[in-house]
Structure 1
Amino acid sequence: MALGGNPVFNGKTFRSATRGNQSSGLGTATYAGTGVANQQQLEHMYNQPSAGPAQTGRMTFDDVIVKTLLCLGVVLVGAAIPAFVLPGLALPLMVIGALGGFVLGLVNAFRREPSPALILAYAALEGLFVGGITMYLEARFPGIALQAVLGTLVVFGVTLALFKSGKVRATPKAMKFFMIAIISYAAFSLVNLGLMLFGATEGMFGLRSSAIPGTEGMFGFENGIPFGLVIGLFAICLAAFSLIIDFTSISEGVRQGAPQKYSWTAAFGLTVTLIWLYVEILRLLAILRGSD
């Protein structure tokens, strides 16, 4: 073995054969000293506390919380632009935010590796959309923004409490129902959007604004129970179960020691779900207050 191949021999040279006996005693002392030092170092290492997930580069709940709060902070900054900075451009900014957020949402969803820059860009664009639609509805129904925020916090808190209690879980059977329900809801939303764009329906929310036939006077609704009330409650339930899926994925990721970078993926998922939940609650409140 060449010198330097073993760190014990770094910087050392061998003596000539005529001085082998002298060097042999010195070598024994050197190795003995090295053995004592190594033993002390090992004992010191064994006495140290075990490295946690943060020290080993693994995902933690704290990582997810911090990154989710960062994403939501960016959403709030984006929402402040159409709400307070450029209120005259609220409508075009809302459209830009909706289209841009949709595109970046798909990009982030299908990326194999999370990109913090793209995730934060998505949050900023969604902020433009959320700020625009909130200010539009706030002008028509004063106080609706605060009601929607409180409603979102309540649903989030109740869902988290149910998840932690173990009473609600994303079981395979529940996931199958969720997939069928979310596809059905997406199909309805696309059809409703198409009818609204072509002027085939009346009302701010298309089919959601119409009343269910035969329900006139029920539950205080003179013109009938709004169809959007039923759809809105259904969508809020879907968003709440989506939070259960997010919580389950985060718990599994932490338990299995997923790399720390995937805390961005978890934060992205929570941000998407919370924005969806907020918009559904905002729309439901607008439908209810519009029927007063």
Structure 2
Amino acid sequence: MRSSNPVFSRRGFGQGGQAGFNTGPQAQAGNPYAQGAPAANPYANSPYANNPYAQPQQGAPGYAPPTAPQTDRMTMDDVVSRTGLTLGVVVASAAVAWMFNLPLVIAIVAALVAMGLAFWQSFKQEPSPGIILSYAVFEGVFLGAMSNFVNKFAPGAAMQAVLGTMAVFLAVLFLYKTRIIRVNRRFTQFAIAAGIGYALLSLVNLGFALFGAGDGMGFRTGTVGILMGIAGVCIGALFLALDFKSVEDGIAYGAPKKQAWFAAFGLTVTLAWIYFEFLRLAWILNSD
């Protein structure tokens, strides 16, 4: 199985078998992934059909005799608790940055540190709670300081960004749970391509701005800035669906409990991105 979330695709969700796990998804009443009912697998004939946590069959290379049943599996409660903790750290550090009225220079430094930590964790094969929570601290400082700065020129922008982020999260969750959004290979490829394209345009615009072109290519102000902000929110929503898919796959295939930290990390990164895009949109709309 190859995870649909790029954050997960570099580790167990897209790699070979691992001893100590069942050869198929966990059997549960009404579970379409249950053993003995392969025809009901909605991911048959797709890159999600193989369990990356499966133990090799008897007689196959790498087979080990079964041991005690594995109970250290990721559950939805694990994902919710770790995501709540990570987002709580983001909110708490953002509140501190807001209250102490931290200058923009600190916000920029915090953003660079958070980016470095995010890349570090993304390329690690194992989740590191320390790195993830440190990322949450610096990301919160960045968002809190930026929110305070924007709110001075566009009162209410921070609250509008919070409400917008919550609305997108609930909307994507509803569309995903009702299968109106179906995360498959084509969906994943489109989301990743859109995300890469958006990131490149943003970097080009930043480069022009840093070398004295004012607002760069105009991607951050006016009508073009509004369109770019809407595009950023939409692409962030696509990545949110990829996060939901990764969580669902991990639980269905009996991923280790520690993978819940990856789920928390992916959701936090995506929600922070969506919030920042809404904050910038609120600034543009309220300052016109």
Identity over the aligned pairs, expressed in percent?
43
Q: Which residue of structure 2 aligns with residue 132 of structure 1?
A: 145
Q: Which residue of structure 1 aligns with residue 232 of structure 2?
A: 235
2:201 aligned residue (161, 180, 188): 188
**Separation (CA, whole Å) in 2 of partners of 1:60 and 1:92:** 40
2:128 aligned residue (101, 115, 121): 115
**Separation (CA, whole Å) in 1 of partners of 2:245 and 2:191:** 14
Residue 210 of structure 1 and its aligned partner are, at CA, apart by 4.9
Query: Residue 208 of structure 1 aligns to a residue in which SS?
Result: coil
Change over 3 Å in CA distance of 1:73–1:271 after alignment to 2? same
Query: Residue 72 of structure 2 aligns to a residue in which SS?
Result: coil
Residue 279 of structure 1 and its aligned partner are, at CA, apart by 0.2
Gaps of 5+ in 1: 1-54, 212-225
The answer (yes or no) to whether the contact 2:91–2:140 under 8 Å persists in 1 is yes
Give the aligned residue type for 2:153.
R
Residue 97 of structure 1 and its aligned partner are, at CA, apart by 1.2
The answer (yes or no) to whether the contact 2:176–2:182 under 8 Å persists in 1 is yes
Report how many aligned residue pairs link the two structures: 220
Question: Deviation string for 1:197-246 (max 9, x for gaps)?
Answer: 112134xx8612455xxxxxxxxxxxxxx101111111111100101000
Question: Deviation string for 1:18-49 (max 9, x for gaps)?
Answer: xxxxxxxxxxxxxxxxxxxxxxxxxxxxxxxx
**Separation (CA, whole Å) in 1 of partners of 2:221 and 2:279:** 17
Query: Residue 219 of structure 2 aligns to a residue in which SS?
Result: helix
**Separation (CA, whole Å) in 2 of partners of 1:285 and 1:142:** 9
Q: Which residue of structure 1 aligns with residue 11 of structure 2?
A: none
Gaps of 5+ in 2: 1-69
2:260 aligned residue (263, 277, 286): 263
Change over 3 Å in CA distance of 1:114–1:290 after alignment to 2? same
Deviation beyond 4 Å, 4+ runs, structure 1:
none
Q: Which residue of structure 2 aligns with residue 200 of structure 1?
A: 213
- Whether 2:91 is the aligned partner of 1:76: answer yes
**Separation (CA, whole Å) in 1 of partners of 2:83 and 2:217:** 33
The answer (yes or no) to whether the contact 1:108–1:119 under 8 Å persists in 2 is yes
TM-score norm. by structure 1 comes to: 0.73
Query: Residue 155 of structure 2 aligns to a residue in which SS?
Result: coil
Give the root-mean-square deviation of aligned CA atoms: 1.6
Give the aligned residue type for 1:208.
F
